[in-house]
Amino acid sequence: MKMKKHTLLQIFILALFLACSKNEPKSFEYWDDLANKKRAEITALTQSIPCSNIEEFDIVSTGGNYYPVHLSIIEKFARIKLELEDILREREIAGSREGFAWAREESLLPNPPVRKVCQNSKPLLIYSHDLSLEEVNLELPIWYEEIKTFYENVSCNDANQWTGRYILFQNCSIEAFAVHKTVGKEEMDNKLDVYNMLMVRKMSLEKTKCESGFPSEKLVKNQPVICEAGKPVVIEN
């Protein structure tokens, strides 16, 4: 009888332990490892389609990364993308719970690719950090001109439909540009982000330092806009 009670007690303790373990929140390390595995799954999927015409691939962003996605796998990619985003949300919750210090400075800036190419029959994204100083110097004026002229035919009638953003110059100064919240926003944001990362690359190669600190927060913070003579004007502060 004593043996039976002892066995029942062991089973009860084991069941209680398993129940507690099941309800115990997963760690940041657990979710981070899961996110890396899911990213590897996405990379394997996107690289599974041979590349002969790069225009058949769209650049899609998820979880801070960019992927060249062929139209034939867009649905499967979307499903895995949602899974990754769920994992990243859990990772952020775990990180906040554990007092994880999130990275700042340049790592705050989005880093979209400069262009896409086919290389060895595989889709490849080219980033600012892949470019030489000579290549960066060729790219910067092209992107700057596209940014300057992007909204030249779009009038400003409602300031609430606009927001302001900054781009970086080599001397660590910044220039403001208005972005419409519904007209071409994604494309304009992408141009601003590419330009900023090209400038970060240039400053790195030339070993330029900002005396008052790198203005990363200003580059990602939205600014208010007013309309003047039909043109959007960013209120700088």
The whole-number pLDDT of residue 44 equals: 97
Q: Do 169 and 87 fall within a single domain? A: no
Q: Which residue has the tokens 């400038």?
A: 199
Q: Is residue 6 one of the residues assigned to a domain? A: no
Mean of all residue pLDDT scores within the chain? 88
For the stretch 74-121, pLDDT in tens is 999 999 999 999 999 999 898 888 887 654 444 468 899 999 999 999
More confident residue, 158 or 173: 158
Question: Would you state the structure tokens that stand for residue 189, as one six-digit string?
Answer: 């944001």
In a domain, 2, yes or no: no
Residue 37: per-residue pLDDT: 96
Q: Last residue of a domain, which of 62, 85, 102?
A: 102
pLDDT at position 106 is: 41
Across-strand partners of 168? 174
Contact 131, 199 (CB under 8 A): no
Q: What is the mean pLDDT of residues 38-67?
A: 95
Domain match, 49 and 95 both = yes
Instruction: Answer yes or no: is 219 within a domain.
Output: yes
Both 98 and 134 in one domain: the answer is no
**Candidate from 4-8, 158-162, 186-190 with smallest mean pLDDT:** 4-8
221 in the same domain as 165? yes
Q: For the chain, what is the domain count?
A: 2
Averaged over 146-167, what is the pLDDT?
Answer: 96
Is the predicted pLDDT of residue 6 greater than 90, yes or no?
A: no
Please report, to the nearest 10 degrees, the dihedral formed by the alpha carbons of residues 77, 81, 83, 88 taken in order.
160
Cα 185 from Cα 163, distance rounded (Å): 10
Is residue 31 one of the residues assigned to a domain? yes
Instruction: Note the pLDDT tens digit of each residue in 171-224.
Output: 888 999 999 999 999 999 999 999 999 999 999 999 988 887 777 778 888 999
Let me know if residue 5 belongs to a domain.
Answer: no
Are 52 and 137 members of one domain? no
CA distances from 154 to 53, 183, 186, 232 (A): 33, 9, 16, 9
Neighbouring-strand partners of residue 180? 162
Residue 138 belongs to some domain of the structure: yes
Domain of 183, in residue numbers? 130-234
Residue tagged 């940014």 (tokens): 147
Q: What is the average pLDDT across 121-144?
A: 97
Q: Check residue 23 and give its pLDDT.
A: 65
**Position 155 in a domain:** yes
Is residue 140 domain-shared with residue 82, that is, in the same domain?
A: no
